[in-house]
């Protein structure tokens, strides 16, 4: 399972099933929240663009996190 598909919140033990947001969804929501707070008037004009930018930022963050994991494993 890719890093972005893993649950955003760790479960208590191996027997509990983690449901809810993926890391990608969680990071995208955080990016969207920040973007909307900073560029509210611009965001009202193009909701689709805000969504695209938020998901793109989440993907970039996950890509960088994956690089760090790869470097630690080498």
What is the DSSP-derived secondary structure letter of residue 10?
A: -
Measured CA to CA, the distance from residue 13 to residue 15 in angstroms comes to 6
For 53, the domain range is 3-73
Give the per-residue pLDDT at 54: 86
pLDDT of residue 37: 78
pLDDT for the residue numbered 21: 81
Contact 13, 30 (CB under 8 A): no
What digits encode the pLDDT tens for the residues 11-22? 655 666 667 788
The number of distinct structural domains making up the chain is 1
What's the confidence (pLDDT) of residue 11? 61
pLDDT tens-place string over residues 12-63: 556 666 677 888 888 888 888 887 777 767 666 688 888 888 888 889 988 8
- Whole-number Cα distances in Å, 36 to 41, 51, 60, 61, 73: 8, 10, 19, 18, 37
- For residues 68 and 13, the answer to whether their CB atoms sit within 8 Å is no
């Amino acid at each position: 399972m890719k890093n972005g598909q893993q649950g955003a919140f760790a479960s208590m033990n191996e027997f509990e099933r983690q449901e809810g947001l993926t890391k990608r969804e969680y990071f995208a929501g955080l990016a969207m929240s920040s973007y909307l707070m900073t560029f509210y008037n611009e965001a009202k004009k193009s909701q689709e663009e805000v969504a695209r930018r938020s998901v793109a930022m989440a993907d970039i963050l996950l890509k960088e996190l994956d690089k760090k994991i790869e470097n630690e494993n080498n």
